[in-house]
Structure 1
């Protein structure tokens, strides 16, 4: 029987099945590097992130909450498609917008970013870079920006409740921190900051240090004072946290925040706080008698002691409780000291208990460091009007550039980064619960997120094949996600 010759299908300039020789390794001439049109991905972990999205229901809910000004009859990608694309790329470490076009046909992203089902999802390309970037303009609208904050708080609440069989935490400490973010060029609202010696934004971030959850963010100019806008931000976070999350046990803040407006505002609200204080000459004179090293030979292990003081700064309306913390030095130098100010009464917590509670901020700072180092938020959004809908030219899509606030766009991008962090945190805490060991985001990335995968389609069935040596991590995370008690979507 005569064999029928078939012309190979063309894909990306090469026939399917053909290979393109790239390299013969000099260190080993038998090693050949070739490029082929196979459905391979280095981002198999996107499947796990999509599972976290589905369990939490947060992306579907956020898409329903958003005000989308686009004509629904003229769009190809829904708000949920755009949100999934943006969050999956961020979670997998693709922070630059120009990466989107290169990854449009990556099989892991194709099957996870779309809302469609079935094996045909392998052929549904991601939205283009320009389409994805216009999502920022939609999210920059005031009502949508607010929805991002609500989604971030809701995701933290759902994760905590799911891991506690649907029960709320009774009481949590909330940490308020600045998160300096370097910017390139002259983004609106950015400014040179003399302390950091670079041009930055200086947003406020609210988080739960004990659990690693991010609650909200507020973008601020790069030259903002530490306490600028802090009272309104904290009040809003506390109100929503006590409605959705838990009773707020204490607000913890660092040395740049304790001004009269903030402290008196929290006191009038009945919100307890602990803040570090910058030293000054008056405090040093007040505490001098208690900062001397005790007489006698010092023990091998340095000693530390705390003392309650009452102090009124010149700008304060009243005296406040100050905790003096003195730490002995091993080199024989004079002990070092620092100060805390708190609204918690001495009969409620001793000075030692206040110090211990404040030192738990270190966990929050570690998680903030992960946000900055792992996600590395790139705040460089700029207005980009849409010129086409479904291939047809239009005068404009949503808003002309002059009506889009680039500062608000960058704030929306920051909040998207924190939502991406929360999805990673869902996967991380599931892995920790299943394995009984701590997991950093970098370990999660190496062990799970960047899993190499091959996609095989057979009829209506779609298989993703990963290396067996990583299967135990996948099984542990998926099993834990199934064990947790997730609330129904929209709840």
Structure 2
């Protein structure tokens, strides 16, 4: 019998005893479901084939693909991947899901320790490996989407790009005070798709980066990957902070359509003044909204561009609210009203970015901790060494986006089976986290979950196995 450790005899009912035992009990069976998604999408194999691991392969215990999968599973299940790694080393379901070991002996394989996972992040922080993580994220979104469409890409897809502030405690490398957000933070760029609910890319930036800082090359890279994995034509949707001649000209030269909000200015307001008048007659009970096309060229622009003036009545007085959109899409393809409707879908992308922050809870807190000794010898001038903390934080951001994307594929399957929308919060509570027990046999491992959760698992698996999976 397993050794027991009495934890509690509650005062409200003395017949209850709470004990801790060395049995294979856990609460994360969803990790096995998520690992199955990684196998179906080819994500684990993608990492094994693409990521460069400088370690001597014959001397390592945990391959790099296993380290990456462990990070993703811990994040997806709601754990602080490195902080909780040691305590969860022998969690049965997590161990079975993370390991590449086959057969019943997989139950004896523990998760990598916190230092091992941290060294894995250092490996991924290399420039070539960060590019592979970004490629993996877009490829994962494409594989999941094409599986539902029998391997076919979409004709057009809209990509939303925005900054997403992550507050930090202390003076982490690259963090800075951001007056707009009112905190010390990082301000990475995040690319997503409102139509698909997918994450497509991430770029780490300092907390005081301007809205459009580093955006041009990042957007071009995301567009190139999206058109390779997801669609034939990518349309970029931006807020007012990204409006610049350099970005517009680059997207036009690349043949990438865009819709962006423009910051109001006195010249534009002066030119649009004749159109900013309330229509004649008694106003209706419901406030009206209408759009007007304006030819306009800002002083910094190299040529005139199509600007859409959006006007809306205020119910409380006779005034009009207004704002401006600029687009490279001609009126023969989209009317002014259609341009506005396309831009309004940006709210869906913002809600998905909110889920990334609230559900996956990225903790971008890597800092420079140089070694004071190595191989039992003191390291001279250790204070000048750098662990590339900023690059590590970009890796952490991408790992959290990958975890989000794996969760989103599970959510998409369950939504298709149930015919209703669900949140990632609900998915985790109802499907991924429940009581579980692992029973080891001579030839088989049996993972037992609560029967009330089994029907949801069956719905997800049935839908996943019906889709056509093509590796990235």
**TM-score in terms of structure 2 length:** 0.94
* Residue from 57, 60, 71 that aligns with 1:86: 71
Matching of residue 68 in structure 1 with residue 53 in structure 2 = yes
The 8 Å contact of residues 227 and 234 in structure 2, kept in 1 or not, is answered as no
Q: 1:156 aligns with which of 135, 138, 141?
A: 141
Quick one: which of 432, 435, 446 aligns to 2:415?
Answer: 432
Structure 2 stretches of 5 or more lacking a match? none
Q: Could you tell me how far apart the structure 1 residues matched to 2:161 and 2:293 are?
A: 24
The alignment partner of 2:464 has SS state of: helix
Q: Does the CA-based 8 Å contact 1:96-1:378 persist in structure 2?
A: no
The 8 Å contact of residues 174 and 248 in structure 1, kept in 2 or not, is answered as: no
Match of 2:267 in 1: 282
Q: Deviations over 1:201-242 (max 9, x none)?
A: 111112111001111111111111111111111112222222
1:138 corresponds to: 123
Q: How is 1:122-137 mapped onto 2 (pairs within 5 angstroms)? A: 122-137=107-122
Deviates more, 1:294-303 or 1:453-462: 294-303
Whether the aligned pair in 2 keeps the contact of 1:321 and 1:343 (CA below 8 Å) is yes
Instruction: For residue 78 of structure 1, report the CA deviation from its aligned partner.
Output: 0.8
| 1:284-433 mapped onto 2 (5 Å cutoff) | 284-382=269-367, 402=385, 404-433=387-416
CA RMSD of aligned residues (A): 2.3
Deviation for aligned residue 1:31 = 3.3
> Per-residue deviation at 1:437?
0.9
Q: Secondary structure at the match of 1:102?
A: coil
TM-score (norm 1): 0.91
350-359 vs 280-289, which moves further: 280-289
> Within 1, Cα distance between the matches of 2:38 and 2:278?
55
Corresponding position of 2:425:
442
- Alignment check: 8 A CA contact 1:23 1:32 kept: yes
User: Contact 1:383 / 1:406 at 8 angstroms: preserved in 2?
Assistant: yes
Alignment CA distance shift 1:419-1:318 (3 Å): same
- Counterpart position of 1:10: none
Among 36, 39, 45, which residue is 1:51 paired with?
36
For residues 390-441 of structure 1, give each alpha carbon's deviation from its aligned partner in whole angstroms, at most 9, with x where no partner exists.
xx98999xxx993642111111111111111111111111111111111110
Change (3 A) 1:385 1:100: farther
The answer (yes or no) to whether the contact 1:383–1:401 under 8 Å persists in 2 is no
How many residue pairs align between the two structures?
Answer: 470
Give CA-to-partner distance per residue, 1:71-96, whole Å, 9 cap, x none. 11221111122111111001111125
Instruction: Give the direction of change, closer, same or farther, for the CA distance of 1:100–1:371 in structure 2 (3 Å limit).
Output: same
Whether the 8 Å CA contact 2:370–2:385 is kept in 1: the answer is: no
Q: Deviations over 1:64-120 (max 9, x none)?
A: 211111111221111122111111001111125221001001001111110001122
Q: Give how far 1:362 is off.
A: 1.4
Where do 5+ consecutive residues of structure 1 fail to align?
Answer: 1-15
Runs of 4+ in 1 over 6 A off after TM superposition: 384-389, 392-396
**2:220 matches 1:220:** no
Tell me if structure 2 keeps the 8 A contact 1:41–1:454: yes
CA distance in 2, matches of 1:388, 1:481: 50
Q: Which residue of 2 aligns with 1:262?
A: 247
Q: Secondary structure at the match of 1:371?
A: helix
In 2, the alpha carbon distance for the partners of 1:362 and 1:418 equals 19
Instruction: Return the offset for 1:387.
Output: 11
